[in-house]
Amino acid sequence: MSNPASPPAVGVVDDRPPLTFPPGFLWGAATAAYQIEGAAAEGGRTPSIWDTFSHTPGRVVEGHTGDVACDHYHRMGSDVALMAELGLKSYRFSVSWPRVQPGGTGPANAGGLDFYRRLVDELLAHGIEPWLTLYHWDLPQPLEDAGGWPARDTAARFADYATLVADALGDRVRYWTTLNEPWCSAFLGYGSGAHAPGRSDGADAVRAGHHLMLGHGLAVQALRAARPTAEVGVTVNLYPVTPASVAPADVDAARRIDGLANRFFLDPLLRGSYPADLMADLAKVTDFGHVRDGDLATISTPLDVVGVNYYSRHVVAAPVPGAEPEPYWRAPSCWPGSEDVRFVTRGVPVTDMNWEIDAPGLVETLRRVHEEYTDLPLYVTENGSAFVDEVVDGQVDDVDRLAYFDAHLRAAHEAIEAGVPLRGYFAWSLMDNFEWAWGYTKRFGMVHVDYDSQVRIPKSSARWYAEVIRRNGLAAQ
Ligand code: FCB
């Protein structure tokens, strides 16, 4: 497949034969609590690491915070009505840990749980399957003060929190994701410091990654104990990693980055071990003394589903002396032990995040997980793109975003044809929101949000997606 071919303009009759997805394919859209809810200090919610981080000058572009965000906390009813209007079959949201368990320890906050009870009931009333993520990066600040994810105890706290949410919502939520993208929590949060809590120490990042996975394993067990019928999974963000050339040094750079980006998580979660080459690469960073007997068995507790978030590909090369340091996930400090690897820009079309658009990478990623790791049902739990949008006469004609979705859905279909048991797809995101360190400057939504008025406008991509859902597929190329 090539990069996005333009789909037919919205409203134009398209008579090409339809590309149909399997019956019951779960079409959804995703969000995360801190990115949309706002109401940061309401209903008993206490600060998370993202409140602290975003309120620290210099951390988030233009000093933006999630204090108000999309005000979803107060607009949940009309937001769910909008989801129903688009025909979503499922909605993936996350629970704010400090809203339901302020401080991260002790009893539940009934008011906080109530918000999610109402959300879930509203979804079910509209025939929308709730898909609940327990941890989308908002660690309660007191747990960070006690050491954060590099501290082993945080894993146990996470399992307690999982029980508390399962007890409250387990009767009406079928799909549960423990963690969203542990790579970002560990390596952006504790390695490069680009994300909350903004710490920068390679050994801490590696420890955080392990304790996140340990927390995941303990939470899976807690969820199963509380709700034996729950469908439980984890969401990892995966990238194909390609060497810039066939030169052995470039090939080795790709092996190392693949180790840190993908296999650091896939192997423990799905095989119960850390890859030997990765451990050797990391030997100068850590002796893995934080890994205790039994941890890997806990981490690899069997799952029901695996969630994959896919955005782009990494192309890497061996170090070049004097190469400029790069920002964000290209920052050397995201890659402990492999700081010398260089990320290469190929000059292919990029999104507003500067992420290269690479739909074939989704086919490769899904096939790899299925062919090398697991027969479990897979879900694309996030996929999408940021572009600069313009509101013209009350409309947003986001052709680039629409083309991105179109190309990636074709890729998803290709993966299914290749034998991948892909059971659903969640667009990132339902609506524009607080894009972490980029604040509100990057728009990923299918629905436009005016942050002053909080008016929502479904973009062309949303209308198009509604049609995709309606016919369970899209036009063939
Ligand atoms: C993913 C995050 C999600 C959003 C998208 C663009 O890494 O899970 O919250 O920021 O990227």
Whether the pLDDT of residue 67 is over 50: the answer is yes
Assigned domain for 15 exists:
no
Whether the pLDDT of residue 7 is over 60: the answer is no
Indicate if ligand 1 lies below 6 Å from the C-beta of 428: yes
Whether the pLDDT of residue 319 is over 90: the answer is no
Indicate if ligand 1 lies below 6 Å from the C-beta of 50: no
Assigned domain for 14 exists:
no
Assigned domain for 396 exists:
yes
| Number of domains present in the structure of the chain | 1
State which of 309, 381, 408, 434 you would mutate to test the pocket of ligand 1, scoring each by most atoms of that ligand within 8 A of its C-beta.
309
Q: pLDDT tens across 257-309, in order? A: 999 999 999 999 999 999 999 999 999 999 999 999 999 999 999 999 999 99
Give 117 or 7, the one with higher predicted confidence: 117
Q: Which residues pair with 81 in a beta bridge?
A: none
Residue 82 C-alpha to ligand 1 middle, in angstroms? 21
Residue 94: give the domain boundaries.
31-474
User: What's the CATH code of the domain at 206?
Assistant: 3.20.20.80
Q: What pTM was computed for the model?
A: 0.96
Whether the pLDDT of residue 9 is over 60: the answer is no
Indicate if ligand 1 lies below 6 Å from the C-beta of 184: yes
Task: Return all residues near 447 (Cβ < 8 A) that are at least 6 apart.
Answer: 82, 430, 431, 432, 456, 457, 458, 459, 462
pLDDT for 326 equals 77
Assigned domain for 372 exists:
yes
> Which atom number of ligand 1 is nearest to the Cα of residue 444?
6
> Which atom number of ligand 1 is nearest to the Cα of residue 353?
6
Active site residues: 181, 382
**What Cα–Cα distance (Å) separates residue 152 from each residue in 25, 143, 208, 210, 284?**
38, 11, 8, 9, 21
Assigned domain for 465 exists:
yes
State which of 434, 435, 440, 442 you would mutate to test the pocket of ligand 1, scoring each by most atoms of that ligand within 8 A of its C-beta.
435
Q: pLDDT tens across 10-53, in order? A: 555 555 567 999 999 999 999 999 999 999 999 999 999 999 99
> Which atom number of ligand 1 is nearest to the Cα of residue 184?
7
The backbone torsions φ and ψ at residue 366, rounded to the nearest 5 degrees and listed phi first, read -65, -40
Q: Which residues pair with 92 in a beta bridge?
A: 30, 131
Give 356 or 328, the one with higher predicted confidence: 356
Assigned domain for 24 exists:
no
Q: pLDDT tens across 211-262, in order? A: 999 999 999 999 999 999 999 999 999 999 999 999 999 999 999 999 999 9
